[in-house]
Amino acid sequence: MLKGYPRADGRKGIRNIVAVAYLVECAHHVAREIVAPTREDAHVIGFPGCFPNPYAQKMMERLCTHPNVGAVLLVSLGCESFNRRQLEDVVRASGRPVETLVIQQNGGTRTTIAKGRAFVAECIAALAGEEPVPMDVSELVVGTVCGGSDGTSGITGNPAAGLAFDKLVAAGAACIFEETGELIGCEEIMASRAATPALADALRETVAKAARYYDTLGLGSFAAGNADGGLTTIEEKSLGAYMKSGQSQISGIIKPGDLPPRGGLYLMDVVPDGEVRFGFPNISDNAEIVEMMASGAHLTLFVTGRGSVVGSALAPVLKIAANPHMYANLSEDMDVNAGRILNGDTGLEEVADEIYAGVLALASGEKSKSEDLGHTEFILTYKTFEPLGPACLPA
Amino acid sequence: MATDGRLLRLAPADNVLIVRQALQPGDIVEVEGVTITVPVRLGLGHKLAAAPIAAGDKVVKYGAPIGRATEDIPVGAHVHIHNVVSDYTPTYALPGEEQEL
């Protein structure tokens, strides 16, 4: 049975974590030391930049009020530009216990760590007394990313994850896929799955925006190495990544931090709006996972061919190994072996069922491999977004 | 119709099958009931025709078109850049730039 911790906004969390958030890199060490004795129950998140950024503010507000978060400690140096009062107000309004510690006003590193640990210990004790309530699959938000991809990702892990997404969407969950830069060449196929003609146009435009952005960055699309691996055309290569989305109708487009308004399948448009400003849209896989969480993902499916070992702060990551040789090597880090499809004795459906069951298990309190190993990676950098267009969300 | 366990069908509508484990020249595989002698080495991820594909027909993988045949492709033949062309008109290109992705 799925179990969730009820929140004031109506959502439920599948974890009850204390988030310790540093508001500039200068406060990162203190935040890390605060959680050191209680790393299972308190996770560090944060924004390293000293200069203000509306995207980072929104992301931190969403993350500190993520359903898996039960209480929040903000750790500020004191002179950074981050609007800590607004963040604290947002968290307090969400009904969660919150405290802000400003290092410059608390006698420095040692005393701030001591005060922080005391607050966190108090919160953990209080949260331990909360009883989870029954939760339905339709209340789940699930993201998907792929990283460390190889030739197997597109034929085992991604299609299996897509089938699992179809089952989740059919059960009423909200599912999010992304990586618009890897959808170049399949925008027409994707547009044909849109709930409305206007959404179809918006889907095409998100991919066109990604193409322009990556063009400016000088990233290529289809190369000789792809053909060696058996890929023939750009649309075939993109389809391999696109398969993570399954076959369901596409209900809408969201941007990082936007919450899916209801169940269904959503494309997350992760490529910044406007001129190219801060470099790569997402500098590593965890940046994508963080954006999934900011849009409410309770957990994220992560398909990997080469073998990523990361997890995440706040929300579990379900690791799907696409390559059977990698699985044999890194099985302690992998939750599902989709690579066994290549051994000829397992079909996609069977692996998809295993992924679906894995999602339900995580949402019932079981730990993923990366959680068990203590992975709590987190990264957030600068971006710029315009608000969503009118056709992006279901009426 | 029987198909060799070393080949993988990704979607019901596909007219290509994916090589699960490398096939060597001279290997015998069964493709939808037709017995084929593999002419060239085919690595993991390469494609064989699951049905005859006429010149100009769509090549379908993942249940979606990935391009069209430039010649008649018989059952069991290697389907790749020598007999398939992209239907996608790139809106951007980086001519001369080859990168490992």
Q: Kindly report the CA angle at A297 between A196 and A73, in degrees rounded to 5?
A: 140
Q: What is the pLDDT of residues A130-139, one digit of tens each?
A: 999 999 999 9
State which amino acid sits at residue A33.
Answer: E
- With a pLDDT cut of 90, the percent of chain B lying above it is 48
User: Which of A211, A218, A227 lies nearest to residue B91, judging by beta carbons?
Assistant: A211
DSSP run (H or E) holding B84 = strand B84-85
Q: What are phi and psi of A37, to 5 degrees?
A: -75, -15
Cα–Cα dist B85/B81, whole Å: 7
Nearest by Cα to A98 from A56, A54, A132, A64: A64
Confidence at residue B44, expressed as pLDDT on a 0 to 100 scale:
84
Q: Where are the domains of chain A?
A: 2-133, 137-372
In A180-191, which positions are buried (b, 16+ CB within 10 angstroms) versus exposed (e)?
Answer: bbbbbbbbbbbb
Bigger pLDDT: B9 vs B88:
B9
A65 — pLDDT class (breaks 50, 70, 90): very high
Q: Is the pLDDT of residue B92 over 50?
A: no
Distance from CA of A170 to the nearest CA of B (A): 19
B23 interaction partners in chain A (CB closer than 8 Å) = none
Nearest by Cα to A363 from A45, A5, A72: A5
Distance from CA of A153 to the nearest CA of B (A): 10
State which amino acid sits at residue A388.
Answer: L
Q: Is the pLDDT of residue B97 over 50?
A: no
B91 — pLDDT class (breaks 50, 70, 90): very low
Q: Which range, of A251-265, A348-362, B3-17, B72-86, averages the lowest pLDDT? A: B3-17
In order, the DSSP letters of A156-216 are THHHHHHHHHHHHHHTT-EEEE--GGG-TT-HHHHHTTBSSHHHHHHHHHHHHHHHHHHHH
Q: Do the chains contact at A223 and B94, CB–CB below 8 Å?
A: no
User: Which of B64, B81, B84 lies nearest to residue A189, judging by beta carbons?
Assistant: B64
The number of residues making up chain B comes to 101
A349 → chain B, closest CA residue: B10
pLDDT (mean) for B72-92: 81
B8 interaction partners in chain A (CB closer than 8 Å) = 155, 341-342
B5 Cβ contact list (under 8 Å, min separation 6): A344, A345, B20
Neighbour tally for A258: CB within 10 Å: 23
Structure token pair of residue A356:
């679906």
Q: Do the chains contact at B66 and A211, CB–CB below 8 Å?
A: no
Q: Where are the domains of chain B?
A: 7-85
Q: Do the chains contact at A231 and B101, CB–CB below 8 Å?
A: no
B18 interaction partners in chain A (CB closer than 8 Å) = 155, 230
B21 → chain A, closest CA residue: A342
User: How many Å from the N-terminal Cα to the C-terminal Cα in chain A?
Assistant: 32
Task: Say whether the ipTM exceeds 0.95.
Answer: no
Cα–Cα dist A83/A264, whole Å: 34
Strands A69-76 and A17-22: what pairing? parallel
Q: Kindly report the CA angle at A388 between A385 and A393, in degrees rounded to 5?
A: 145
Q: What are phi and psi of B68, to 5 degrees?
A: -135, 155
Distance from CA of B74 to the nearest CA of A (A): 18
Nearest by Cα to A116 from A126, A56, A124: A124
Q: What is the pLDDT of residues B34-46, one digit of tens each?
A: 899 998 899 888 9
pLDDT (mean) for A59-68: 98
Nearest by Cα to B85 from B72, B99, B68: B68
The answer to whether domain B7-85 has CATH 3.30.565.10 is no
Confidence at residue A166, expressed as pLDDT on a 0 to 100 scale:
98
CA dihedral (B97, B98, B99, B101) in degrees, to 10, reads 120
Distance from CA of A189 to the nearest CA of B (A): 7
Structure token pair of residue A59:
């992301």
Cα–Cα dist A109/A111, whole Å: 6
Q: Is the pLDDT of residue B100 over 50?
A: no
Q: Give residue ranges of B with CB < 8 Å to any A CB.
A: 5-6, 8, 10, 18-21, 43-47, 59, 61-67, 79-81, 84-88, 90-94, 97-101
Q: Which range, of A201-215, A221-235, A295-309, B68-82, averages the lowest pLDDT? A: A221-235
Angle between helices A54-64 and A84-93 (to 10 degrees): 30
CA atoms within 13 A on the CB side of A146: 34
Distance from CA of A229 to the nearest CA of B (A): 6
The answer to whether domain A2-133 has CATH 3.40.50.970 is no
At residue A126, the 3 state secondary structure works out as helix
Q: What is the pLDDT of residues A298-327, one digit of tens each?
A: 999 999 988 999 999 999 999 999 989 899
Structure token pair of residue A7:
């929140």
B57 Cβ contact list (under 8 Å, min separation 6): B15, B68, B69
A211 → chain B, closest CA residue: B92
Asked if A144 and A244 touch (Cβ cutoff 8 Å), the reply is yes
